[in-house]
């Protein structure tokens, strides 16, 4: 009997479909060992040696694995092909190398950190490491035919990250308890994420809107009084006497409108050109999370949970990757599918190759794709329909379409730009109209929201301060046939007052994109980072956007005042590069950790002596306490979120649930709409008259 050890029962079940009776498959149920919960667990005096212990509740799981391993001829560690999976495999191997009554051995020291393989002694010749990026019969067969050993470079990279996070969290959190508020915590990446959100919020608060005006003209080609009217199209005023026009107030707008009303309009030039629209690259972890947030409205945590289920069922390749590489076999099958299903005109002459920015090739062999291109959510008549939950269907469909689309021919659009001269009594004005007609939909037949033949006109301009762009005046009709010198009739002028807008708040998609661009965090860290800052009430979600709480402001300001280098964007990104270097076997992990720890620890000692306690500003409702009538009812943040309390606490122990009022009327009964949260913490809008009125909506009613 051969033993295969994986992380989850679902993965075990899928593997069992492809293996015979000679294999026994057991699940470790994730990590089996970790640093202890209630003590530091890192020996900083001896090369940061970690004191790993069994995770509570894993005793029976480990016992079962150990007992089964004694009877096995060969043991295969088949955990996920990334740093976490490699670490799980290594921890399992450590427990299988010694009798259960012996003490759990310490982790190997730095001498092994350069090697790519762990050296096994004579007792371990039957212990192997196998990896596969998709759970298919072929991939499993290949892995078993070419077993390897544990990659200690990946183990050390995971170990270094875990120890660094333990140092920051365990050493810095007590300081926050003492200087800010009890129960707080800090983390390397989470604190930087909060910093981004806080700094964006302050940009918004400081932003001073500038007034500007846009003038649109509705025009049509002059055909003469006896001919039918030509179609109307819209143009935007862009220049005055050859220079970019800036209209800053109503008085200026009225002056321009008055002159334009008496001006003569004619076509100054027409420019047409074909433009190619290439398909997006196949999904990486971050682009999958961003797209699922934008198209499905999902949190990064939910996206990763559903993707994990799809991977363990053998439906998609491994979902933690920053690579856009694709296996040639998968690409060739995809091209065959496109040729058969969509015809030759949708197939490029050569396969598309997407360059990968990944620095860790071991972790990123492929992008996220379906394991079998023929497995579709809605197959042709007679085809077998995939059986999965609704959420799994939606994400699988997104991954399947993105993969197929990335190998399809580019879309072609005809772009038209029309310059219009308006000759006034004093000045000459220039207006611009733009149109775009799709000549060939290409990959958009599958992946784009608007399939088929489409045409639109639109105008994109810069605001006065050149910091934001606006897409305006989109219309379903295309521009009519126009030629240089054509006379035009003015139908209507439409001056519109506008104001420059502040930068938008971060949502899940834009925060992940920014973290990735800055080089902060890695694919596996984005979802837990966002979940952590929400759970700890450093930020909250409003209309799917992140808004820092008063607590978030206070913690951010304290940490940046006393530890500006630790939570600097470049420093954090550099630390990620070091971890990548460890994973590639180019650096040892102990020196990297020591380089961080020694100055950090010295600064920690100094800050604990000189820093003053920070007062967190408390939100108030402006109402008197209903219990004592003396204090104010204030909004506090506890373990389970916001609640109402008396400002005189502990003298008055009044406490009540916090319900955020919106000032909107319930569309169903006329009561007040309030903002609530589900048991899982997801926000929604409901009626204050519940349960008499059951109105509820994920979106804020208008």
Q: Are residues 521 and 583 in the same domain?
A: yes
Angstrom distance (rounded) from CA 110 to CA 591: 9
Mean pLDDT of 184-190: 89
Question: Is residue 463 scored above 70 in pLDDT?
Answer: no
In a domain, 155, yes or no: no
SS3 category, 651:
coil
Asked whether residue 690 falls in the same domain as residue 624, the answer is: no
Whether the CB-CB separation of 631 and 647 falls below 8 Å is answered with yes
> Does 137 share its domain with 49?
yes
The pLDDT value recorded for residue 384 is: 62
Q: What is the structure's pLDDT at 449?
A: 59
Q: Is residue 210 within 8 Å of 500, Cβ to Cβ?
A: yes
Distance CA(109)–CA(43), nearest Å, equals: 12
On whether the pTM is more than 0.95, the answer is no
DSSP 364-417: -SS-B-BS-TT--SSPPTTPPPP---HHHHHHHHHHHHHHHHTTSPPEEEEEEE
pLDDT at 472 over 60: no
- d(Cα 317, Cα 311) in Å, to the nearest integer? 6
Question: Do 93 and 61 belong together in one domain?
Answer: yes
pLDDT of residue 10: 92
The reply to whether 567 and 653 lie within a common domain is no
Residue 119 and residue 100 share a domain: yes
- The DSSP H or E segment spanning 142 is helix 137-145
Q: How far apart are alpha carbons 440 and 198 in whole angstroms?
A: 45
> Higher confidence at residue 686 or residue 212?
212
Active-site choice (52, 318, 447, 538): 318
Please name the helix (run of DSSP H) or strand (run of DSSP E) that holds residue 642, with its range, or none. Answer: strand 641-646
**Known catalytic membership, residue 429:** no
- Claim to verify: residue 179 and residue 114 sit in the same structural domain: no
16-71, pLDDT tens digit by residue?
A: 999 988 999 999 999 999 999 989 999 999 999 999 999 999 999 999 999 999 99
Residues 198-217 have a mean pLDDT of: 97
In this predicted model, what pLDDT tens digit does every residue of 87-99 receive, in sequence order? 999 999 999 874 4
Q: Are 588 and 111 within 8 A, CB to CB? A: no
Helix (H/G/I), strand (E/B), else coil: 637: strand
420 occurs within a structural domain: yes
Residue 564 reports pLDDT greater than 70: yes
Is 163 a member of any domain? no
304, 289 contact by CB (below 8 A): yes
Coil, strand or helix at 247:
coil
3-state secondary structure of 87: helix
On whether residue 162 sits in a domain, the answer given is no
- 644's tokens: 């109402």
Helices of type H across 563-661: 569-583, 589-610
**pLDDT value of position 542:** 85
Mean pLDDT, the chain, integer: 86
Percent of the chain with pLDDT over 70: 88
Spell out a b/e string for 171-207, using b for 16 or more CB atoms within 10 Å of the CB, else e.
bbeebbeebbbeebbbbbbbbbbbbbbbebbeeeeee
Domain that holds residue 392: 285-405
Find all residues with CB under 8 Å of 352, minimum gap 6, and list them: 279, 406, 407
- Tell whether 695 is covered by a domain: yes
pLDDT in tens, 371-395: 999 888 776 655 566 788 999 999 9
The token pair at 533 is 């800052």
- Alpha carbon distance, N-terminus to C-terminus of the chain: 65
Mean predicted confidence (pLDDT) in 693-700: 86
CA gap 125, 37 in Å, rounded? 34
- Model confidence at 461, pLDDT cuts 50, 70, 90, reads very low
Q: Can you name the residues that pair with 26 across neighbouring β-strands?
A: 5
DSSP state of 49: E
In-domain check, residue 636: yes
pLDDT (average), residues 309-331 = 92
The reply to whether 292 falls in a domain is yes
Say if CB 404 and CB 396 are below 8 A apart: no
Q: What would the pLDDT profile of 122-169 be if each residue is shown by its tens digit?
A: 345 589 999 999 999 999 999 999 999 999 999 999 999 999 999 999
C-alpha to C-alpha distance for 372 and 329, rounded to whole angstroms:
11
Q: For residue 117, is pLDDT > 60?
A: no
Asked if 415 and 435 count as a contact pair (C-beta separation under 8 A), the reply is: yes
The closest of 182, 108, 276 to 613, measured between CA atoms, is 182
Give residue 355's pLDDT: 81
User: What's the pLDDT tens digit per position in 574-632?
Assistant: 999 999 999 999 999 999 999 999 999 999 999 999 999 988 887 788 889 988 888 88
Cβ within 8 Å of residue 463, ≥6 positions away: 210, 212, 469, 470, 498, 500, 501
Tokens 């280098």 -> residue: 565
Q: Indicate whether 422 pLDDT > 60.
A: yes
Band of the pLDDT at 112, cuts 50, 70, 90?
Answer: very low
Instruction: Determine, yes or no, domain membership for 158.
Output: no
| Statement to judge: residues 347 and 419 lie in one domain | no
* Residues 57 and 98 grouped into a single domain: yes
Residues contacting residue 91 through CB under 8 Å, at least 6 positions apart: 31, 32, 33, 52
141 and 88 in a single domain? The answer is yes
Q: What CA–CA distances, in Å, run from 336 to 340, 407, 569?
A: 6, 10, 45
Give the model confidence (pLDDT) of 628-646 as tens digits: 888 888 888 766 667 888 9
pLDDT in tens, 660-692: 778 888 988 888 898 877 766 677 888 988 888
Q: What is the DSSP string of 467-493?
A: S-EEEEEEESSPPPP--TT-EEEEEEE
Domain boundary among 381, 405, 429: 405
Helix axes 152-179 and 589-610, enclosed angle (nearest 10):
0
**Which helix (H) or strand (E) segment is 542 a member of?**
strand 539-542
Is the pLDDT score of 458 beyond 50? no
Please spell the DSSP secondary structure of 354-370, one letter per residue: -----S-GGG-SS-B-B
Instruction: Write the pLDDT tens digit of every residue in 221-241.
Output: 988 766 678 899 999 999 999
Does the structure show a pLDDT above 60 at 455? no
What's the CATH number where 141 sits?
3.40.50.140
The DSSP line for 100-137 is TTSPPPPPP-GGGTT-SSPPP-GGGTTEEE---SS-SH
- Cβ-based neighbours of 615, under 8 Å, separated by 6 or more: 554
Residues 454, 477 within the same domain: yes
Q: How many domains are there within the chain?
A: 6
State whether 605 and 569 are in the same domain: yes
Boundary residue ending a domain (120, 150, 180): 150
Residues composing the chain = 702
Query: Which is higher by pLDDT, 679 or 552?
Result: 552
From the list 369, 373, 394, the residue with the least C-alpha distance to 282 is: 369
């Amino acid at each position: 009997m051969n033993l295969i050890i994986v992380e989850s029962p679902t993965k075990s079940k899928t593997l069992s479909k492809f293996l015979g009776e000679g294999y026994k498959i057991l699940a470790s149920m994730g990590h089996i060992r970790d640093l202890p919960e209630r003590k530091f667990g890192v020996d900083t005096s001896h090369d940061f040696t970690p004191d790993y212990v069994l995770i509570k509740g894993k005793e029976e799981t480990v016992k079962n694995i150990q007992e089964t391993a004694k009877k096995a001829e060969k043991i295969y560690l088949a955990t996920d092909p990334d740093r976490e999976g490699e670490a799980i495999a290594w921890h399992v191997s450590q427990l299988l190398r010694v009798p259960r009554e012996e003490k759990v051995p310490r982790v190997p020291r730095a001498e092994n950190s350069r090697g790519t393989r762990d050296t096994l002694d004579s007792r371990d010749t039957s212990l192997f490491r196998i990896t596969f990026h998709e759970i298919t019969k072929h991939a499993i067969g290949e892995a078993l035919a070419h077993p390897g050993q544990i990659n200690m470079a990946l183990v050390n990279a995971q170990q270094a990250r875990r120890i660094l996070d333990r140092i920051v969290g365990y050493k810095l959190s007590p300081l926050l308890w003492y200087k800010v508020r009890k129960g707080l915590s800090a983390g390397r990446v989470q604190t930087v994420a909060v910093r981004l959100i806080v700094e964006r919020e302050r940009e918004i608060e400081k932003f001073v809107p500038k007034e500007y005006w846009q003038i649109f003209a509705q025009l049509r080609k002059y055909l003469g009084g006896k001919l039918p009217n030509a179609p109307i199209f819209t143009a935007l005023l862009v220049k005055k006497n050859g220079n970019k026009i800036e209209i800053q107030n109503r008085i200026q707008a009225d002056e321009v409108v008055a002159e334009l009303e008496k001006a003569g309009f004619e076509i100054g030039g027409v420019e047409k050109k074909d433009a190619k629209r290439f398909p997006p690259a196949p999904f990486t972890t971050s682009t999958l999370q961003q797209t699922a947030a934008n198209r499905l409205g999902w949190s990064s945590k939910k996206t990763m949970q559903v993707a994990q289920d799809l991977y363990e069922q053998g439906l998609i390749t491994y979902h933690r990757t920053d690579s856009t590489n694709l296996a040639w076999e998968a690409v060739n099958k995809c091209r065959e599918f496109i040729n058969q299903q969509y015809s030759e005109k949708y197939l490029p002459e050569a396969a598309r190759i997407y360059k990968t920015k990944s620095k860790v090739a071991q972790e990123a062999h492929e992008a996220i794709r379906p394991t079998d291109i023929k497995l579709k959510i809605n197959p042709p008549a007679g085809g077998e329909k995939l059986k999965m939950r609704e959420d799994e269907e939606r994400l699988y469909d997104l991954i399947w379409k993105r993969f197929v689309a990335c190998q399809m021919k580019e879309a072609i659009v005809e772009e038209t730009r029309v310059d219009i001269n308006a000759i006034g009594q004093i000045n000459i004005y220039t207006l611009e109209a733009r149109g775009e007609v799709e000549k060939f939909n290409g990959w958009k037949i599958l992946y784009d929201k608007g399939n088929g033949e489409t045409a639109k006109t639109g105008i994109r301009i810069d605001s006065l301060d050149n910091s934001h762009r606006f897409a305006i005046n989109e219309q379903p009709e295309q521009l009519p046939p126009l030629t240089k010198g054509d006379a035009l009739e003015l139908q209507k002028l439409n001056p519109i007052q506008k104001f420059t807008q502040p930068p938008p708040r971060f949502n899940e998609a834009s925060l992940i994109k920014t973290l990735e661009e800055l080089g902060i965090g890695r694919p596996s860290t984005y979802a837990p980072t966002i979940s952590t800052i929400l759970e700890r009430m450093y930020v909250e979600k409003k209309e799917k956007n992140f808004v820092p709480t008063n607590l978030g402001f206070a913690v951010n300001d304290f940490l940046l005042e006393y530890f500006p280098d630790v939570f600097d964007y470049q420093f954090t990104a550099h630390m990620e590069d070091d971890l990548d270097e460890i994973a590639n076997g180019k650096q040892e992990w102990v020196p990297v950790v020591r380089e961080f720890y020694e100055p950090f620890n010295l600064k920690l000692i100094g800050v604990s002596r000189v820093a003053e306690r920070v007062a967190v500003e408390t939100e108030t409702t402006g109402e008197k306490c209903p219990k004592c009538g003396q204090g104010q009812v204030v909004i506090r943040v506890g373990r389970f979120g916001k609640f109402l309390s008396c400002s005189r606490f502990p003298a008055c122990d009044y406490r009540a649930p916090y319900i955020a009022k919106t000032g909107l009327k319930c569309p169903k009964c006329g009561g007040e709409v309030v903002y609530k949260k589900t048991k899982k913490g997801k926000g929604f809008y409901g009626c204050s008259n519940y349960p008499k009125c059951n109105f509820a909506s994920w979106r804020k009613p208008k």
